Structure 1
Amino acid sequence: MQSAAADPGTALELETPLRELFGFSRFLPGQEEIVRRTLAGRDTLALMPTGSGKSLPYQLVAMLLEAPTLVVSPLIALMKDQVDKLPPPVAERTAFVNSSLDPAEASRRLEAFAAGRVKLLYAAPERLRQRSFVSALAAAGVGLVVVDEVHCVSMWGHDFRPDYLFIQTALDRLGSPPVLGLTATATPETEREIGNSLACAFDVVRASVVRPNLHHAVEHVEDEEARRRALLERVGAETGPAIVYARSRKKCEQLSRLLQGHGFEALHYHAGLTSPERTRVQEAFLAGEARIVVATTAFGMGIDKPDIRLVLLYNLPGSLEDYVQMVGRAGRDGAASRCVLFAGQRDAADLRRFARSDLPSAHVLRGVYRTLRAHAQGDVARVDAATIEHGAGLEAGDDPRVLVGILEQSGLVRRGFDHGRVWHVELPEPPADVAARMALLLERMEHGAGLRVEGIVRYAGAHRCRQQLVAEHFGERREEPCGTCDRCLGAEAKAEPAERRALPERPAEAIVAAVDSLRWPLGSTGLAAMLSGSVAAPPSARRSPSFG
C-alpha cells in the first residue's frame, strides 16, 4: 500500500524536529531508518525489542506529515497514559478514542482529527469494526496507519487477536494509506504472515533483539518449596524494583503474601482485580512505594519504569516470544538487570498439557457455527458475544471472537462491520471440503502451539549462550556469546531441596504439643507449613520451636 506521491523523506533534516519536539539530540538504533522509510510512504515493518523506543518514530512522523496518523493499539487501558506522557508540543496534537469516553467526547475528538487540530489518534482495533468510525477516518484523509503489536494479526502466533484480521478491510476503506507495523516479537514465519494478512510488501527494519544489559539465567527447581526458597533468595539479592510473573491469579496472591511475610514490599496484580485496584498497584510500583509486583502477564504492557532490575518468571511461559516480551521490561535505562526463569522436570509436560487445553475443539467450533446458523435471517446472523456464549455452551476462557475468527479463516463465515454490540456475520454456502479445511486448521494450530512450547523448553534446557538462542529464534545471527548469561559464566543454578529433620518418635504427640505452644491461632494450611518447615509458614509460626 505504497503512496507514490509521498515525500521521499531521504533528504529531510530530522535532528531539529527530534530535538524541538522530543528533546533528544540523536536517534536510537533503527529509529531514523523507520522515520525516513515511513516519510517516503513505504509500508514498513519495524522489529524492535521492548524498551528500544519503537513509539518515537511514528510520533515524530505524525508531526511531520501533512495528513493525520492513526495508531491501532490493543492497549486500551494505557492509551491515556501514553498520551499524557508525550512532550507537550506532541501531546496537544494527540488524542485517543476508546470505550472510556462518552459518545459526545469521542465525536469531538474525531472532528478535531478531521479538521487537522489533532495529528495523531490512538484507537483500538475493535473500533475499526464500526462503519461510522471508519467513514470519519476516511473523511479525515488518514495519511499513515500505525499498527502496534502487529504480530497479533497472525493466527499462528503467540498472541492472536481476531479484530486484527479486519484491519485490511479498514485499510481498503481508507484508500490504502501506507502502513507502519510495530512488534518486538516476530519470528521470520510471523513476518511473512503479517505481510500476507495486511496485503503489504513491507520494508523490514530490524533492530537486534539482543539487549546486552540483560543477564539471563535459568534456575532449576524441582518442587514448590524449592521454588519459594529460590524466589526469596533471588528477590533478596536485588535492591531495585522487580516483577515476578506467575501463571495464575491464585499463585500471584500466594506469592505476594509469601514475600510480604518475609518483609518485602510486594503487591499482586491480575485481571481479576477491579480497575481502581489495578491502578493503585500500578501507581504504587511506579512511585516506588512497592518494590515488587507479582503479576500475571496482564501487568507490564506500556509500563514506563526504566529501572526494573529483576524480572523473574516463576513458571515456564507459553513461548519464547512471551518470555522475551516479559523480560523486556527490565533495564530500560541501560543498566545491568537480571532475567530469571524457574524450570523443573515437570514443567515441560505441564506446559504441553496447558497448550493443548487452550486449543478449541472441533466440537466447540461446530457449536458456535450452529448457533450462528440458528440466529441467521437469510445468510446473515446478527448476534452479540453473549448469544454465542450461551447458544454454544462456551466455558470460561472460550473467546467467541477468536472462535468466529477461526471459522472465518476456514471460509465458513465472514464477519463484517458491527452494529453497536451486535455482530454482523455472513454465512455463505459452506465449501464442499469444509471438514477437511477445519481439520487442517486445527492441526496447524496444534502444531504451532507445540512449536511454541518446544521453543521455551529448549531455551530452559540449553547448554549454550542464552542470548544467542533468543537471537536465532527471531532470525538473527549472533556470532559472539554474550558473556553475561548463566551459561557463558558457567554458573548453573539449581535450588537445593530443604533440609528435613527426622520425624519424632511420637508424631501425633509432637503435633499436639506444637499446637498447644502456639501463641496465635493458626489454620490447617499454616500449621502444615510450620510443621514441615516451609518458608510459606506465617512469621509467628517460623519463630516456633516446632518449626520444621
Structure 2
Amino acid sequence: MPEPLQILRSVFGHDKFRGPQEEIVHHVVQGGDALVLMPTGGGKSLCYQIPALCREGLAIVVSPLIALMRDQVETLRQAGVKAAFLNSTLSLPEQREIERAMFTGELDMVYVAPERLSQPRFLDLMERCRLGLFAIDEAHCVSQWGHDFRPDYLQLSILHERFPDVPRIALTATADGPTRKDIVQRLQLEEARQFVSGFDRPNIRYTIVPKRSPLEQLTSFIRSGFAGQSGIVYRMSRAKVEETAAKLCERGFEALPYHAGLDPAIRQRNQDRFLNEEGLVMVATVAFGMGIDKPDVRFVAHLDAPRSLEAYYQETGRAGRDGLPAHAWMAYGFGDVVAMRQMLAANDSDPQRRQIERAKLDALLRYCETTQCRRQILLSYFGEGKGEPCGNCDTCLNPALEWDGSLAAQKALSCIYRTGQRHGMGHLIEVLLGLETEKVCLNGHDKVSTFGIGKDLTSKEWQSVFRQILAQGLMGVDEHGGFHLVEESRPVLKGERKVMLRKDPEAARTRRPKGGTPGMVSAEDEPLWEALRKCRRDLAQRQKVPPYVIFHDSTLLDMVIHRPADLDEMAALDGIGASKLERYGQDFLDVLLSHRK
C-alpha cells in the first residue's frame, strides 16, 4: 500500500497536508468511515482521492452533477490517475467500456450519480468488482433540512447494507446542526468518525450594501477591481438573470445567463464557456454552481438575498477556491425582506419544519442587518466561535453605527395600526412625513394621529426603519405587501422592548481586495504573468480543457515569485506533480527563461 504523503507529492504536487487532511486520509485508508465537514477550497477532494489511490480496489464516488464529474475526472487524468465517470452524456458503448474496466480493475476511481448507484443492474456490477472505497460528495443533499435536498441521496443507505466492509466517507462544505444529524442518520454513519474543520474562508471579503440601483451598483462593484475577472452573479428569477446578463453586456462585460428554463444545449454551452474561458461573468439562478470546481472565481455577487445562511455560505464559497483574495458582495434591500417574510408566511408545511425555516430566515436577516463583524456572525451560525473581528468585511473596514430606534419603531407600528393594517411602506412613509398626496387624502389618512409625526427622519431613513423592524419580526406582511401588527409588536408599542437599528451608510464604498487580481503581481512582473497565463490558455485550448486543469493561478504565481531555472526547481513548486511536470514543465520553463532579468 503506497504512503499517502508519497501520493500527495508525486500525483498532486503538494509537499504537505493542510489542516485535518492527513488525519482524515489515514483514518479512511485504514478502513474507517468518516463524515467530513470542510469549507469550499479546503481540500475535501483529496480526503477521498488519496485513500482511493492508497487502498486496493475501485473507489466509487457519488457526485450530484455531470459538470462536477467531468471536471474532477479531467483534473485527475491530467495528474495521471485512472479515473472515469458514468452518466447520461456517454453513449451506450462508452458506458459498457467503463463497466468492463471497472470489472477488470483498470480504474482507480469512477464517478457516478446517486440515481445510477441505486439501480439493481449497477449494484450487481459492483458486487462483481473489487471495491476499496465509497465517497459521497455534497452529502448535505441527503438532508431535507439542507438547501440542496436531492431525493436520490436517500437511497445511499443501501451502500452500507449491501457492502458493509467497504469504508465510506461523506463530505460537505455546508451543514448546520440539524442537517448534520440528518446526514448521519440517513446514511447510517452513526459509527463514523466526524471531522469538522473550521468554516472560515479568510481570503473572502464579505460586503453588503443597501440596495438602491442594483444594476448600477453591481457595475460599479465590478469596475472597482474585477473587470476581466471571472465572477458569478446570483439572481432569484429567470427573467432577472436574462435582464442582468444583457445589461452587463451593454456595459462592456462578457456575461452569460444560466437558469433551468434555458435550452439545455445553450445552458451547457454557457457553463462550458465559463469553465473553459477566463474573465467571464455568469449570471445565474441557484440552479448553477453546486460542485463547480473553477478555482479562479474572484467574486460572487448577490442582487437578491439567498434563501438561508447555508445557501449564502455555499454560494459565496465558490469564490477564491484557490486561496487567493476574493470578494462576496450583496445588494440587500427592503424588497428582499418582504419577499422572504411572505414566503415564510405562505409555508404550509408541518410546525417543526416552519419553526426551522423561520430560524434559518431570522439568522440570515440578522447577518444582513448586523453592525458586528460579519465573519463572526457567519461562523457562530455554524457553531464556530471567532474571538477577534476579522478585519476583512465591510463592518470591520467601515464600522456601521447603531442607534436607538425604539421611538421610530413605535411611530412606524402606530402608523400601521392607525391606517388599517393593509398598506405598504410607500404609503406609510407619506403619512409619517405628512405629505398630502391624493392617496393619503382619499383614505382620510391626513386626519389620523400619526400624520406628520415622522418629519424628524427622511424618506430613505424611514425605508431603513421599516426594513429593519420587518427583518426583526416586529411586524408582518401579507401576500399583497401590506403591513400588519404581530404579537412581537406589542412590547415595542408599550415601551417594554428596546429596538436598536443600524444606520445605513449614505453611499456604499467598495474597496479592492488586498493583493487581489489584478495587482496580484507587480507591474514589473505583469508581462511574465500574462505570458504564463497565455501558455496555460494555449495548452488548455489544444486539449479542450479548462485552463485551471493545467495549473491553478496560485501555481503560476509561485512560478513568478520563485522563477525556477530548471525542471528540478519547478518540481518543488506547489501543485506540480510528476505527470504535470512531464507534460507541461518544459513549456512553462521556456516562458520563464525567456523572461529572465
Normalised to the residue count of structure 2, the TM-score between the two structures is 0.63
What's 1:349 paired with?
338
SS of residue paired to 2:164: coil
1:219 corresponding residue in structure 2: 209
User: Does structure 1 residue 261 correspond to structure 2 residue 250?
Assistant: yes
DSSP-derived class of the 2:14 partner: coil
- The question of 1:278 aligning with 2:272 is answered no
- 3-state DSSP class of the match of 2:350? helix
Q: Which residue of 1 aligns with 2:359?
A: 451
Alignment correspondent of 1:120: 109
Structure 2 counterparts to residues 111-510 of structure 1, below 5 A: 111-200=100-189, 201-222=191-212, 226-239=213-226, 240-288=229-277, 290-355=279-344, 442-492=350-400
Indicate the percent of aligned positions where both proteins have the same amino acid.
40
Specify the SS of the correspondent of 1:310: strand
Instruction: Give the deviation of 1:58 after TM superposition.
Output: 1.0
Matched, 1:105 2:94: yes
Pick closer, same or farther for the CA change 1:175–1:305 going to 2, 3 Å.
closer
Which deviations, in whole Å up to 9, do the C-alpha atoms of 1:416-464 show, x marking residues without a partner?
Answer: xxxxxxxxxxxxxxxxxxxxxxxxx732222222222222111111111
Q: Secondary structure at 2:334's aligned position in 1?
A: coil
Alpha-carbon deviation of 1:102? 3.1
Deviations 1:234-266 (A, max 9, x none): 122123322111111110110111112222222
* Alpha-carbon distance in 1 for matches of 2:132, 2:295: 32
Q: Which residue number corresponds to residue 393 of structure 1?
A: none
Structure 2 residue identity aligned to 1:46: V
The one-letter code sitting in structure 2 at the alignment partner of 1:444 is Q
Taking the aligned partners of 1:261 and 1:165, their CA distance within structure 2 comes to 45
Equivalent AA in structure 1 for residue 395 of structure 2:
R
Question: Mapping of 1:9-20 within 5 angstroms?
Answer: 13-20=3-10
8 Å contact 1:466–1:485 — kept in the other structure?
A: yes
CA distance in 2, matches of 1:61, 1:89: 16
Deviation at 1:19, TM superposition (A): 1.3
Is the 1:356–1:446 contact (alpha carbons within 8 Å) kept by the matching residues of 2? no
Query: Residues 60-84 of structure 1: CA distance to partner in whole angstroms, max 9, x if unpaired?
Result: 1111111221111111243122211
> Residues 158 and 452 of structure 1 are in contact (CA less than 8 Å); yes or no, is this contact kept in structure 2?
no
Evaluate the alpha carbon distance shift between residue 459 and residue 280 of structure 1 in structure 2; reply closer, same or farther with a 3 A threshold. Answer: same
Residue-by-residue CA offset, 1:351-410 (whole Å, 9 max, x unaligned): 2333565x6x6xxxxxxxxxxxxxxxxxxxxxxxxxxxxxxxxxxxxxxxxxxxxxxxxx
In the alignment, what sits opposite 1:25? 15
Residues 219 and 492 of structure 1 are in contact (CA less than 8 Å); yes or no, is this contact kept in structure 2? no
The corresponding residue for 2:66 is: 76
Call closer, same or farther: CA 1:159–1:287 in 2, change over 3 Å. Answer: closer
SS at structure 2 position matched to 1:454: helix
Q: Which residue of 2 aligns with 1:423?
A: none
Secondary structure at 2:220's aligned position in 1? helix
2:47 aligned with 1:57: yes
Q: Contact 1:134/1:174 (CA < 8 Å) preserved in 2?
A: no
Worse overlay, 159-168 or 98-107:
98-107
Query: Which position in structure 1 is the counterpart of 2:544?
Result: none
> Across the two proteins, how many residue pairs are aligned to each other?
398
The alpha-carbon deviation at position 467 of structure 1 amounts to 0.9
Distance of 1:141 and 1:152 partners within structure 2? 27
Q: Does the aligned pair in 1 maintain the 2:160–2:188 contact within 8 Å?
A: no
Moved more, 282-291 or 330-339: 282-291
- C-alpha change, 1:122 and 1:283, in structure 2 (3 Å) is closer
CA pair 199-286 structure 1, distance change in 2 beyond 3 A: closer
Q: Larger deviation: 274-283 or 67-76?
A: 274-283
The residue type equivalent to 2:52 in the other structure is A
CA deviation profile, 1:209-234 (whole Å, cap 9, x unmatched)? 11111110111125xxx222211211
> What is the CA distance between 1:96 and its match in structure 2?
1.2
Residues of 2 paired with 1:178 and 1:479: CA distance?
A: 37
1:290 Cα deviation after fit? 4.8
Q: Which runs of 5+ in 2 are unaligned?
A: 402-597
Aligned in 2, Cα 1:442/1:40: closer, same or farther, shift over 3 Å? Answer: same
Separation of aligned partners in 2, 1:291 and 1:102: 31
Structure 2: distance between partners of 1:230 and 1:120? 45
User: Once the 2 structures are TM-superposed, how far is the Cα of residue 105 of structure 1 from its aligned partner?
Assistant: 2.8
Change over 3 Å in CA distance of 1:250–1:176 after alignment to 2: farther
Deviations 1:84-110 (A, max 9, x none): 12144543x211111222334323322
- Alpha-carbon separation, structure 2, partners of 1:173 and 1:202: 17
Structure-1 residue corresponding to 2:470: none
Q: Report the secondary structure of 2:27's partner residue.
A: helix
Kindly state the Cα deviation for residue 288 of structure 1 after the two structures are TM-superposed.
4.2
Q: CA deviation at 1:289?
A: 5.6
Query: Deviation at 1:287?
Result: 4.5
Q: Which moved more, 1:101-110 or 1:232-241?
A: 101-110
* CA spacing shift, 1:477–1:145, aligned 2, 3 Å: same
2:216 maps to a residue whose letter is R
> Could you tell me how far apart the structure 2 residues matched to 1:252 and 1:206 are?
35
**What's the counterpart of residue 417 of structure 1?**
none
Distance 2:394 2:13 in 1: 38
Task: Name the TM-score, length of structure 1 as normaliser.
Answer: 0.69
Amino acid paired to 1:463 = T
1:281 to 1:60, Cα distance in 2 relative to 1, 3 A: same
Change (3 A) 1:162 1:279: closer
Could you tell me which amino acid in structure 2 is paired with residue 354 of structure 1? M
CA contact (8 A) 2:67 2:292 kept: no
Q: Residues 161 and 301 (structure 1 numbering): CA distance in 2 closer, same or farther, change over 3 Å?
A: closer
Deviations 1:16-54 (A, max 9, x none): 221112222222222212211111211111111112221
Give distance in 1, aligned partners of 2:345 and 2:181.
Answer: 25
Question: Per the alignment, in what secondary structure is the counterpart of residue 450 of structure 1?
Answer: helix
Q: Which residue of 2 aligns with 1:430?
A: none
Tell me the CA shift for residue 111 of structure 1.
2.5
Q: For the Cα contact (< 8 Å) 1:318–1:355, is it kept in 2?
A: no
Q: Which amino acid aligns with 2:250?
A: G
Deviation of the 1:176 alpha carbon: 4.9
Distance 1:104 1:443 in 2: 50
Q: Is the 8 A contact 2:156 2:187 kept in 1?
A: yes
